[in-house]
Structure 1
Amino acid sequence: MTPRLLLSAALVALTATPLAAFEIGEMTAEERMIFRSEVRAYLMDNPEVLLEAIDVLERRQAEEQAANDVALVETNREELVNDGYSYVGGNPDGDITVVEFLDYRCGYCRKAHPEVTELIESDGNIRYVIKEFPILGEQSVLASRFAIAVKQVEGDEAYYDVHNDLMTMRADVTEEALTAMAEEKGFDTPEIFAAMNSDSVQEIIMQNRALAQRMQINGTPSFIFGDEMLRGYLPLDAMREILAEERAEG
């Protein structure tokens, strides 16, 4: 519990007590001292009031965050779902779009990967958009540059194949490892590595980072399910529940 949250909760608690029935600003210095003493005594005798206030405060903050996230999704919707360069999979004509900001070196992205795959395949009506968002160091950036370059040179099917391999890759991401991956798949390796260093690939990563900043996303995985934004790992059942709610509301 942070000191700021505790103080905010105490202020919320005071509004629910009989001690707050008058204007504090109209008190004399002596009256304020008495008031503070009474408040402390009241909260010591009734600590459950503070716990209830903390619960109310946390609910208010969650509601405010959710409302803010809905507004952010609406403001940035076109770039989220139809930017013209991100991979679009699943059912391109699906009734709901799921957007995932991910990093190939992120442990929680790796944990979510098989569940996201199962969600898309079992549902059959999800339009799935991948946002390359490398934030965990040089290997993350190298992996994203490779994936984007594969998409540009070899197409969407090859991109998704590489995406799956990078998500399950246990070794370090190096140019040697990526070269071996490209050659094993029969890709045009020189062309891919030339694209990796191109301005267009760098621009995609920069645009995704700028979008994430506008969306107040600073970690991976982060998801947009229809109109709802969720930060962090979610188990499969939770994702299905959110999709059901979004469809019911839509």
Structure 2
Amino acid sequence: MFPRLIAPALACALALPASAMDLTELTDAERAQFRAEVRAYLLENPEVIMEAVESLQGREAEAQARADFDLVTNNAGPIFDDGYSWEGGNPDGDIVLVEFLDYRCGYCKKSHGEVAKLLETDGNIKMIVKEFPILGEQSMMASRFAIATKNVAGDDSYDKIKDALMAFNGDITTAALRRLAETYQLDFDAIESKMNDDEVTREIAETRALAQKLQITGTPTFVMHDEMLRGYLPYDQMQALVAEKRD
């Protein structure tokens, strides 16, 4: 990576012949001399390496942002209006924030409070939650329970269970889910009977297919309007991005 980025610049800086721009054209002696000059130059100017790395990272980030913009634009329907994902916050908000989450994901748990704070302090954000269990059977069980709760008891109960599952740090077991249901006076038996319904299975499968199209491989992943935000973001950064989108 480094030679491709800095060799031409070094050749000019070191006043080497034009042939030095192509290392394959050098003799063994010239190549050895060039490498020695490069090494000496880098030892004297180590900031060149960091500048090259930062330049490369900047170009890669720009390319990723352009690719993500296209992915979001081409899949806007299932992202923002799939007909089944839970919606919260302000339904008429001028900012729409979509989150792909897994209840067993430590960074999802960490970001949960940040997102809640953003929704509370802003008041003009619509929130959409995509159930994306990718961390094993307990993750799948938790998502099936959450979706079944929504289908049986409604959106308000789903919201409470979603928050409870994010705060829960033990193993996801039938007994644990029963206790959560009883805490919120929900009919666990009715919810459990729906956890493996085709409707629940289809929602998870369609969300996974969407995530694959969007090249999402980890959680949390957010979509804010036309931008994909991959990974945990603290409250201040999310707030700044919201302000940027409004501008």
Task: Return the alpha-carbon distance in structure 2 between the equivalents of residues 56 and 204 of structure 1.
Answer: 41
Q: Which residue of 1 aligns with 2:8?
A: 15
- CA drift of 1:26 comes to 8.1
Give runs of aligned pairs for residues 129-168 of structure 1, distance below 5 A. Answer: 129-168=128-167
Q: CA deviation at 1:224?
A: 1.1
CA offsets per residue over residues 214-239 of structure 1, 9 Å max, x none? 11111111111221111111110010
The equivalent residue for 1:181 is: 180
Contact 2:95 2:225 in 1 (8 A): yes
Looking at structure 1, the residues matched to 24 and 238 of structure 2 have their Cα atoms a distance apart, in angstroms, of: 52
Aligned to 1:43: 38
Query: Structure 1 residue 122: deviation in Å?
Result: 1.0
Number of corresponding residues: 238
Report what 1:33 is aligned to.
28
| Long gaps (5+) in structure 2 | none
TM-superposed deviation, 1:13 = 0.9
Change over 3 Å in CA distance of 1:25–1:11 after alignment to 2: closer
Does the CA-based 8 Å contact 1:90-1:126 persist in structure 2? yes
**Counterparts of 1:54 and 1:35 in 2: how far apart (Å)?**
27
List gaps (5 residues or longer) in structure 1: 1-7
On the 8 A contact 2:23/2:31 being kept in 1, the answer is no
Partner of 1:204: 203
- In structure 2, do the counterparts of structure 1 residues 24 and 148 end up closer, same or farther at CA, with 3 Å as the change threshold? same
Equivalence for 1:69: 68
Aligned mates of 2:23, 2:35 — CA distance in 1:
18
Q: Partners of 1:211 and 1:10 in 2: how far apart?
A: 39
Distance 1:20 1:180, change over 3 A: farther
Q: Does 1:123 align with 2:122?
A: yes
**Cα distance between partner residues in 2 of 1:168 and 1:125:** 25
Q: CA 1:196/1:39 → structure 2, altered by over 3 Å: closer, same or farther?
A: farther
- What's 2:171 paired with? 172
**CA displacement at 1:25 relative to structure 2:** 8.5
Corresponding residue SS for 1:135? coil
Distance 1:148 1:12, change over 3 A: same
Normalising by structure 1, report the TM-score.
0.89
1:114 aligns with 2:107: no
DSSP 3-state at the match of 1:208: helix
User: Which whole-Å CA distance do the structure 1 matches of 2:152 and 2:239 have between them?
Assistant: 34
Deviation at 1:190, TM superposition (A): 2.6
Partner of 1:228: 227
Normalised by the length of structure 2, the TM-score is 0.90
Q: Name the CA distance, whole Å, in 1 between partners of 2:121 and 2:76.
A: 25
1:98 matched to 2:97? The reply is yes
Instruction: State the SS of the aligned residue for 1:216.
Output: coil
Structure 1 vs Structure 2 CA RMSD:
1.8
Q: 1:234 to 1:185 in 2, by over 3 A?
A: same
In 2, the alpha carbon distance for the partners of 1:92 and 1:243 equals 16
**How many percent of aligned residue pairs carry the same amino acid?**
48
For residue 32 of structure 1, report the CA deviation from its aligned partner.
4.6
Give the whole-Å Cα distance in 2 for the aligned partners of 1:32 and 1:66. Answer: 42
**1:3: which partner in 2?**
none
Task: Quote the offset at 1:158 in angstroms.
Answer: 0.7
Pick closer, same or farther for the CA change 1:35–1:227 going to 2, 3 Å. farther
Paired residue type of 1:167: M
The answer for the alignment partner of 2:22 in structure 1 is 24
In terms of mean alpha carbon deviation, does 43-52 or 124-133 score higher? 43-52
DSSP-derived class of the 2:178 partner: helix
